Amino acid sequence: MSKKTVAIIFGGVSSEYSVSLMSACSVINNTDSEKYDKVLIGITEAGEWYRYTGDTEKILNDGWWQDDSLLTPITVAVSRSVHGFLEYKNGTCSPLYVDCALPILHGKNGEDGTVQGMLELAGIPVAGCGSLGSCLCMNKHLTQKLAETVGVPVPRSLVLYEGDSMTAARIFADGVGYPVFVKPVKAGSSYGVTKVERAVDLAAAIDTAFRYDDTVMVEEAVVGREISCAVMGNKELIVGEVDETEVKDGFYDFAAKYAPKSTVIHLPARLNVAERERVKDIAKRLYRATGCNGFARVDLFYTDKGEVIFGEINTIPGFTEHSHFPKMMGAAGYSFPQIIEYFIENC
């Protein structure tokens, strides 16, 4: 039986470019070479697409993977007859067939459905969420609205657009009480997110968030445990063990996620079996409601009153050594190579 050819796409025009490089290395190393031929496709921060043929470890060092001797320009073939890419080498253009593509692109221009839509138009199966689910889940405001439709409570929030007056933001924050969180509506890895403790700091936090997006949310701070649930599948869903993030200082920002010195991950979460099963059921409900397929990580809050409150959904969660998704699935009995195989075989 011939091996499937899988395009693993990394990098991207995004503030989360460096995170993608870290995640991609883990995914590449855990994709079984005995079962799959891997085509590595890197997108630079300037938006140039290349086939990369060097060592995986060099991807972690941005300057090394972009060595000209290891790269050939490549584009998605819009013709479905190619079912893959066009590679440009030595003055010639050659078709490159792939069975499917696995985008490991965090943030805008990758996790938001743009790349997925292009691959879908080209007839290339996508391992992971498609264009609709990716687009919806990238928008925190829209996902909150969808969560409400399936009976999951959400934090109170206010959406601001560029040019809006600060007055509404001040009134809202005063009404829900400090602290509040200010965040870009369409960004991940906690880029641009600020926990605002005092009214005097609100305007600066909003300015910071607008550097990452043209739409910003001011959101009440939910008092509760931060829990997550890994989900994968299409018709039949597999749910990983629920975990809980305990942050010793501050909140779960970029530093806590990717250099977690002040963070303790409890796996399983400090909830009883019945509570964890309820969380899993809610995670599956949200996964379905937001059009997810393939895989996603659902983030929630669990309050002292037993309420489960929606946080957000990451359609391409982190896959670094510190990341939740592979660990949660590992606790449910699935090794890292097994979950990658599941992604590929079920796209």
- Residue 188: per-residue pLDDT: 65
- Domains in the chain, ordered, with CATH? 4-127 (3.40.50.20), 137-153+223-345 (3.30.470.20), 157-220 (3.30.1490.20)
CA–CA distance, 51 with 73 (Å, rounded to integer): 6
Residues 6+ apart with CB under 8 A from 329: 230, 232, 238, 240, 339
Per-residue pLDDT for the chain (347 aa), expressed as one digit of tens each? 689 999 999 999 998 999 999 999 999 999 999 999 999 999 999 999 999 999 999 998 766 788 888 899 999 999 999 999 999 998 999 999 999 999 999 999 999 999 999 999 999 999 999 999 999 999 999 999 999 999 999 999 999 999 999 999 999 999 999 999 999 998 765 788 999 999 999 999 999 999 999 999 999 999 999 999 999 999 999 999 999 999 876 554 445 454 556 689 999 999 999 999 999 999 999 999 999 999 999 999 999 999 999 999 999 999 987 899 999 999 999 999 999 999 999 99
Q: Are 30 and 8 in contact (CB under 8 A)?
A: no
What DSSP letter does each residue of 293-324 carry, written as one string? -EEEEEEEEE-TTS-EEEEEEESS---STT-H
Residues 6+ apart with CB under 8 A from 259: 322
CA–CA distance, 303 with 291 (Å, rounded to integer): 26
